[in-house]
Each structure stands twice: as structure tokens, then as C-alpha cells.
């Protein structure tokens, strides 16, 4: 289904001066004017970012999703119809992409709320936090830890170290950067990549069952 199918069109609708300016920028952008692309992004980047931030509650994710939204919108710009405003169209793309992202995040193994089917087919909750546990609960907890460690052990060394520092030693980003003598931005970027790799590992394991 094309993006436009999500909207009801009203060809008689009158548009604001801002919307008309957007239409002019879109025409130029479709013709290859890079400055027009840039201006469209400047006009709406902050609005899209803060909308997404409310949805994901994470600045790094919101920044990534903002770039993705504009990338998808610009790739489909030639299909844009002027029956509705560019901002409405852009926000719908951003929202739909964010919803897909949130759905995928639900199976992230280190969310402390997920579950996973073990090799025996038993559902295993991946909560690995400590507490006052009886012997049976402690056995289950140790099994959970072993399962998570099994996934983590499959990561490349540099990503494995970051995950262990962040999720097993529970260090902050700043503490990890200091421990590894690495820039904070690099730590955040590599942890983001490590989470993606872990998610791929879980998916592969799940599909193999």
C-alpha cells in the first residue's frame, strides 16, 4: 500500500502560506535541488524529533528515528500529492516508522521484561536482577543469566565487553567511557550496534526453534 492511501483527500482545501511554501520546496526538491531538501528538514526536524522523543523516551533512538523518517519521506517525495500538507504526510511516516521500531524493541533481550523459549521449549523470562530469592528462584535466575550470557558470548569482543559493562556491571555510559578511555559518543554508538546484534542473535535462535 502506498503512503498516500492512509489519507482522505480534499482537493478544495485551502492551505496556509507555510504549506504553500512547502509545496514550492517539494517541487524544487523533486527536481534535484539539494537546498530545498535541506530547508524542508530544517523546517520540521525539531517538531519530528520531539514528537518521536515522547514516543520512545530515549534521545538516541529519537535522533535515529528522525533521520529515518526524513530519509523515507525524501525517497517517496516524488509520490507526494498536494491534497494535504507536507507536515501531515511527514508526521504520518515518522509515526508509522516509530511504531514499527517500538514493536521490534519488545523482543530486545536486555529489556528486563522479555521472555524467550529455551532449547527445551520452556518459556524463560530474561529478568536477571537480584533480590531475596529462595533456592528454586535462585536456580531459575541463574538459568536466565546463563541464557543471556550465551547470547552475549556470540558478540564480537568489543561489543561483548560493552554489554557486560553496561548490563552486568550496570555502569553508566559515562563510567564505561572512562573505564575504556573512549569518547562518550563512541560508547553510545557501539552499544546501540551491540543491541542490534543481540537482537539479530535472538531472532536467529527463535527462528531455529
DSSP labels for the chain?
--GGGGS---TT----HHHHHHHHHHHHHHTT-HHHHHHHHHHHHHHHHHHHHHHH--HHHHHHHHHHHHHHHHHTGGG--TTS-HHHHHHHHHHHHHHHHHHHHTT-TTSSS-EEE-TTS-EEE---------HHHHHHHHHHHHHHHHHHHTS-HHHHHHHIIIIIS---HHHHHHHHT--HHHHHHHHHHHHHHHHHHHHHHHHH-
pTM above 0.75, yes or no: no
The pLDDT score that the predictor gives to residue 129 is 45
Q: What is the pLDDT of residues 125-174, one digit of tens each?
A: 444 444 455 565 555 555 555 666 777 788 888 888 888 888 777 788 88
Given a cut of 90, is residue 196 above it in pLDDT? no
- What confidence tens digit (pLDDT) does each residue in 77-117 have? 988 988 888 988 999 999 999 988 887 776 444 444 444 44
pLDDT > 90 in the chain, percent: 10
Residue 16: the pLDDT is 85
Q: Where in the chain is the domain with CATH 1.10.1740.10?
A: 3-105
**Residue 3, pLDDT above cutoff 90:** no
pLDDT of 119 over the 50 cut: no
Fold of 115-208: Arc Repressor Mutant, subunit A (1.10.10)
Give the CATH fold of the 3-105 domain.
Rna Polymerase Sigma Factor; Chain: A (1.10.1740)
What are the residue ranges of CATH 1.10.10.10 in the chain?
A: 115-208
Amino acid at each position: 500500500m502506498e503512503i498516500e492511501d492512509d489519507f482522505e483527500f480534499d482537493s478544495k482545501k485551502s492551505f496556509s502560506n507555510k504549506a504553500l511554501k512547502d509545496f514550492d520546496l517539494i517541487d524544487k526538491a523533486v527536481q534535484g535541488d539539494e537546498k530545498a531538501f535541506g530547508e524542508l528538514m530544517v523546517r520540521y526536524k525539531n517538531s519530528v524529533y520531539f514528537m518521536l522523543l515522547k514516543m520512545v523516551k530515549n534521545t538516541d533512538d529519537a535522533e535515529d528515528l528522525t533521520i529515518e523518517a526524513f530519509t523515507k519521506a525524501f525517497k517517496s517525495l516524488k509520490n507526494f500529492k498536494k491534497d494535504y500538507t507536507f507536515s501531515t504526510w511527514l508526521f504520518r511516516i515518522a509515526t508509522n516508522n516509530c511504531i514499527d521500531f517500538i514493536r521490534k524493541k519488545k523482543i530486545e533481550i536486555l529489556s528486563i521484561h522479555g521472555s524467550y523459549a529455551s532449547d527445551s521449549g520452556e518459556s524463560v523470562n530474561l529478568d536477571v536482577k537480584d533480590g531475596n530469592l529462595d533456592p528454586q528462584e535462585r536456580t531459575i535466575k541463574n538459568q536466565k543469566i546463563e541464557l543471556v550470557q550465551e547470547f552475549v558470548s556470540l558478540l564480537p569482543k568489543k561489543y561483548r565487553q560493552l554489554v557486560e559493562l553496561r548490563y552486568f556491571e550496570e555502569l553508566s555510559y559515562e563510567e564505561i567511557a572512562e573505564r575504556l578511555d573512549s569518547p562518550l559518543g563512541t560508547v553510545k554508538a557501539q552499544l546501540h550496534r551491540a543491541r542490534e546484534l543481540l537482537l539479530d542473535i535472538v531472532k536467529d535462535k527463535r527462528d531455529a526453534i
